[in-house]
Amino acid sequence: MGLLSPIKDHHSERRLFIGRVILSSAISIVLLGGVVARLVQLQVVDHELFAEKSQGNRVRIEAVPPIRGLMFDRKGQVIAENLPAYQLELIPEQVDDIEDTLGRLAALDLIERGDIPRFKELSRTGLRFKPVTLKTRLTDEEIANFAVQRPRFPGVDFQPRLVRHYPDGEAVAHAVGYVGALSPGDLQRLDAARYAGTSHTGKTGVESSYESDLHGQAGYRHLVTNARGRQVPGDSSNLLESLPTDQTAGPGSNVYLSIDLDLQRLATRSMEGRRGAVVALDPWSGEILALISAPSFDPNLFAVGMSTGQFSALQDNPDRPLFNRAVRGSYPPGSTIKPMLALAALETGATNLTRKSLCMGYFMLPNTTHRYRDWKPEGHGPVDLHDAIAQSCDVYFYQISGDLGIDAMHDYLDRFGLGRKTGVDVSGEHTGLVPSREWKRASFRERDDQRWYHGETVIASIGQGYMLATPLQLAAAVGAMATRGKRFRPHMVAAVEDALSGERRMTQPERLPDVDISNDFYWDNVINAMHDVMQGPRGTARAVGSGAPYEMAGKSGTAQVVSIAQDAEYDEEQLEERLRDHALFIAFAPLERPRIAVAVIVENGSSGSGVAAPIARAIMDEYLGYGDDASD
């Protein structure tokens, strides 16, 4: 008997099918609902958020750096400007072998071999479609040389840019300063939004101190890009219509300096081949008329970018051209402080106008055998205070130093601004040093070293020992002598001008505490003695002041660099050049209502009256209209 086929239960199968359909439909509806809900969230709830993100994917905001403000001297002559220049750039993604390309560029003398590792690192770490600057300022010869070779260098080209330029270069380097490439430290302290797109910032001098005025305000523009951030070629204006209008960069303010560029050039020529500094200022306002440090350097090298070798040559130069001697150099002031100490001695009663001392060429403290020598071995004979200043008699000041005392010296020199920062509007100023008993106690650990000795007072009376001053401090101090005690804070910037509106913000003279001397006759006597230094019959700088068409006042100084044994004679020819005395000179003119005060320091120049004084005289002649190049 054969097997019987089972009878199908059509009713059960139908129920199972319907159940499955219902379950599938329910799942489909749930999934579809989820999709709809997500679409509603994306298209309605979060529409603005994703629209903004979508816009950001196709539009990149690119910063537009501002044009840096210009600098002018007091006569409107350009000191710092921006010039168009071509710079050599490499786009990493377009170069197959970066190391080989850089090597061949070095073979053409377009870059330095020592800079190749740095350029490789920049190419590796940056966006590959962003250009890497290889050289900031190409000469016409370099452009022509590369143009011939361009087919051999895919991905390398030159592009036009604005570059900072200083027409007078070395003559203004230490006064104006320079701009240099942004460092990681700069990026941390500066406002990232304001410096977006900017590659350089002020590093020293006025460029640094007035960076906020000179820099300007960065702008921006919208670029249509692809997913990799690369700009899409062609006209994309229709895609940008709905975006905010591009913001134009605001140019930096122009800065007018109190510097007289003609005077600056003369001072630079006068110090050629020497080490030292010159500072000239207006004693009635504190405006700095000239400020140079020698030797100097070309600030344009920093603006365009220098090679490692070039920077090393500057940094390792034993003459230290990068060091600003005018505001940072600290030197023993020597006899230049004698006029200030003379006022202190008169005011405190340590001497008077009629007291005479016998100068035999040396001075000895009681119960000692040490001789404190005068610069004139045979001595000056009988001298009073007037003669002691005019002839720079050291012995006279040795003799009154005990009655005056180191603390009184400190007090009165401090009133003239020595031993403290002047507050000039450029960075990096040093304080100098005017010693006192309190200073020595605080500066030394050993008890014996903390004691102040009478012999230290003796040498302090001629500006030696611990005493140090900067050229700027000496210029400000002689300016206070010129005004009979009225003091003004030195400053370099005369005005800041809005580049668009032309509106100027003037720098007002800032009064400092006066040097109070009870008797005006003391001022008369000391200033007359300074006048006789240059135009008296026995003045130490009479050869320099002779024949001048105006009256002037000054004081020479010589600062000892190495000690000379008691029984030895100072023989300049036997000493190495760098061991010779420093030459100093301070002066002001005209005698009545002075218009200029000058301080000159020539390192290892030996004679203040013979070397530094002629430079001061030439600067005063030029400013007052009596120079060789002056035209009335």
Q: Which of 569, 555, 561 is nearest to 612 (CA)?
A: 555
Alpha-carbon torsion (316, 314, 580, 417), positive or negative? negative
Using a pLDDT cut of 70, give the percent of the chain over it: 86
Mean pLDDT value across residues 554-566: 74
Helix (H) / strand (E) element for 84: namely: strand 78-90
Q: Would the pLDDT of 264 be above 80?
A: yes
CA distance 334 to 496: 38
Mean pLDDT value across residues 128-145: 77
Q: Find where tokens 């816009």 sit.
A: 55
Q: Would the pLDDT of 601 be above 90?
A: yes
Please write the tens of the pLDDT for every residue from 451-502.
999 999 999 999 999 999 999 999 999 999 999 999 999 999 999 999 889 9
Mean pLDDT value across residues 334-345: 96
pLDDT given at position 124: 74
Q: Would the pLDDT of 280 be above 50?
A: yes
Please state which of the ranges 179-188, 417-426, 428-437, 547-556 shows the lowest mean pLDDT. 179-188
pLDDT given at position 156: 85
Q: Would the pLDDT of 65 be above 90?
A: no
Q: Would the pLDDT of 447 be above 60?
A: yes
Q: How far is CA 146 from CA 70, 84, 489, 493, in A?
A: 32, 18, 52, 42
158 CB contacts (<8 Å, ≥6 apart)?
86, 87, 88, 89, 138, 143, 146
Average pLDDT of every residue of the chain: 85
Confidence band for 35, pLDDT divided at 50, 70 and 90: confident
Query: E-assigned strands of 145-213?
Result: 156-165, 179-181, 200-202
Please state which of the ranges 30-39, 48-57, 542-551 shows the lowest mean pLDDT. 48-57
Confidence band for 580, pLDDT divided at 50, 70 and 90: confident
Tokens, residue 95: 């170069």
111 CB contacts (<8 Å, ≥6 apart)?
88, 102, 105, 119, 134, 135, 307
**512 neighbors 487 (Cβ within 8 angstroms):** yes
User: In 273-415, which ranges are continuous DSSP H helix?
Assistant: 300-304, 308-315, 325-328, 338-348, 385-390, 394-404, 406-415
Q: Would the pLDDT of 138 be above 90?
A: no
593 CB contacts (<8 Å, ≥6 apart)?
none
Please write the tens of the pLDDT for every residue from 348-359.
999 999 999 999
Mean pLDDT value across residues 557-571: 62
CA distance 304 to 315: 18
Tokens, residue 392: 């720079």
Residue 119, classed as helix, strand or coil, is helix
Alpha-carbon torsion (565, 566, 572, 577), positive or negative? positive
Its pTM surpasses 0.75: yes
CA distance 58 to 104: 37
pLDDT given at position 126: 59
Q: How far is CA 39 from CA 44, 175, 271, in A?
A: 8, 66, 79
Q: Which of 394, 404, 408 is nearest to 357 (CA)?
A: 394
Catalytic residue IDs: 335
Please write the tens of the pLDDT for every residue from 523-535.
999 999 999 999 9
Q: Would the pLDDT of 545 be above 60?
A: yes
Mean pLDDT value across residues 182-199: 73
> Vertex 146, ends 142 and 147: CA angle to 5°?
115
**408 neighbors 350 (Cβ within 8 angstroms):** yes
3-state secondary structure 5-30: CCCCCHHHHHHHHHHHHHHHHHHHHH
Q: Would the pLDDT of 386 be above 60?
A: yes
Note the Cα 213 to chain centre separation in Å: 15
| Residue of 453 and 124 predicted with greater confidence | 453
Residue 231, classed as helix, strand or coil, is strand
**380 neighbors 359 (Cβ within 8 angstroms):** yes
Confidence band for 26, pLDDT divided at 50, 70 and 90: confident
**The listed CATH number (3.20.20.70, 3.40.710.10, 3.90.550.10, 3.90.1150.200) that belongs to domain 262-624:** 3.40.710.10
- Interstrand relation of 254-257 and 71-72 (parallel, antiparallel or unpaired): parallel
